[in-house]
């Protein structure tokens, strides 16, 4: 009997590549990877994976519409435009909403597992908190079109009764290996590593709200290894459905994150503050912190990697190793 396959969309991207590597470590070398190779570093990510097939996103959508696939047991949908500054609403509506709906409908029709990436950007300015209770979803007001696209699908899934059959993850500030292609959407850790090596210092945004001191804006930073572990937990437990926050449940300041980078580089902290661009000031999240009680109640009991340890692992074992031309597929999944 032919072994049923797993599809990872966005598999040459950041979370998707790490997720596919973790599946490879489990013995899944017959993955179907779907992406759009619009950056040479995504091609490098793809080359680190073992898979049975790679399909461009457009080709995959077309084949799925023609019902060309059989033997797929799960689609892990990590593919999306994740730029918080994207202004093409029609593109986001198609790529982030319609595409996700097509995959979800196919999985429900074929009785395949569907786990998709939502985002903490759906929470907007945080006024309503960060509770992944479904009753909060209709009230959320994202601050940018990217967040709204994720919110639009969450609402569709809620209103059509899908959330008792599929799982969505509201990823918070994920950082780690294989994010090099993301440009300005790269994590501060990745940007800081190169900036500190080049200049000896790190620039952080000033606060433009009086209740926050410069650098004391806080986010829930989660290492990609942990984000992958949560995603695989939901793959393994198809009876655990709905929206779940994917964060650590503990917020840290940008200064704490910066200090962890300097420590990983064995350098004393040297931070200067710069004005935040006016174009993003009214769309900037000053505080995010996941409520993870729902995830814990679902049975996920693994501890999250402490921030200092996660940053040290990423900087020393990936960023520095890559600079020294060592193999980039170092990451180990359990």
Catalytic residues: 146, 182
**β-strands 218-219, 252-253 pairing:** antiparallel
Cβ–Cβ < 8 Å for 204, 254: yes
Question: Phi and psi (nearest 5°) for 171?
Answer: -70, 135
Q: Rounded to whole angstroms, how far apart are CA atoms 139 and 118? A: 16
CA distance 52 to 249: 37
Q: What's the token pair of residue 72? A: 């797929």
Length of the chain: 334
CA distances, 168 to each of 145, 234, 246, 276 (Å):
19, 9, 10, 32
What six digits make up the tokens of 12?
A: 């040459």
Nearest to 265 by CA among 197, 208, 188, 330: 197
CB 249 within 8 A of CB 291: yes
Distance CA 332, CA 131 (A): 31
Non-local CB neighbours of 165 within 8 Å, separated by 6+ positions: 108, 114, 241
Pairing relation of β-strands 173-175 and 221-223?
parallel
Measure the CA–CA gap between 212 and 258, rounded to whole angstroms.
17
Contacts of 76 (CB under 8 A, 6+ apart): 6, 7, 8, 9, 16, 19, 115, 116, 231, 235
Copy the structure tokens of residue 237.
């437990």
CA distance 34 to 11: 6
Alpha-carbon distance of 79 to 57, in angstroms, equals 9
């Amino acid at each position: 009997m032919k072994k049923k396959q797993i599809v990872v969309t966005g598999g040459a991207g950041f979370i998707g590549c790490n997720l596919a590597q973790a599946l490879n470590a489990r013995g899944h070398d017959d993955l179907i990877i779907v992406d759009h190779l619009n950056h040479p570093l995504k091609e490098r990510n793809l080359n680190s994976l073992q898979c049975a097939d790679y399909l461009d996103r457009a080709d995959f959508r077309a084949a799925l519409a023609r019902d060309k696939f059989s033997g797929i047991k799960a689609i892990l949908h990590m593919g999306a435009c994740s730029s918080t500054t994207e202004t093409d609403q029609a593109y986001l509506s198609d790529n982030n909403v319609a595409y996700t709906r097509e995959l979800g409908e196919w999985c429900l029709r074929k009785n395949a597992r569907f786990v998709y990436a939502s985002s903490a950007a759906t929470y907007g300015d945080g006024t309503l908190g960060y509770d992944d209770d479904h009753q909060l979803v209709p009230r959320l007001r994202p601050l940018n079109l990217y967040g709204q696209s994720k919110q639009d699908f969450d609402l569709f899934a809620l209103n059509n009764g899908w959330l008792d059959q599929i799982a969505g993850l509201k990823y918070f500030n994920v950082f780690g290996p294989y994010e090099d292609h993301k440009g300005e959407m790269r994590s501060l850790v990745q940007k800081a590593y190169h900036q500190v090596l080049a200049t000896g210092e790190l620039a952080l945004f000033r606060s433009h709200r009086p209740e926050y001191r410069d650098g004391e804006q806080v986010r829930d930073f989660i290492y990609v290894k942990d984000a992958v572990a949560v995603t695989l937990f939901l793959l393994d437990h198809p009876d655990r459905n709905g929206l779940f926050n994917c964060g650590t449940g503990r917020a840290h300041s940008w200064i704490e994150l910066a200090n962890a980078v300097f420590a990983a580089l064995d350098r004393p902290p040297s931070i200067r503050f710069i004005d935040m661009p006016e174009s993003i000031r009214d769309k900037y999240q000053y505080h995010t912190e996941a409520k993870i009680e729902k995830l814990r109640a679902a049975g996920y009991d693994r501890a999250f990697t402490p921030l200092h340890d996660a940053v040290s692992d990423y900087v020393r074992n990936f960023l520095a190793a890559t600079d020294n031309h060592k193999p980039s597929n170092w990451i180990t999944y359990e």
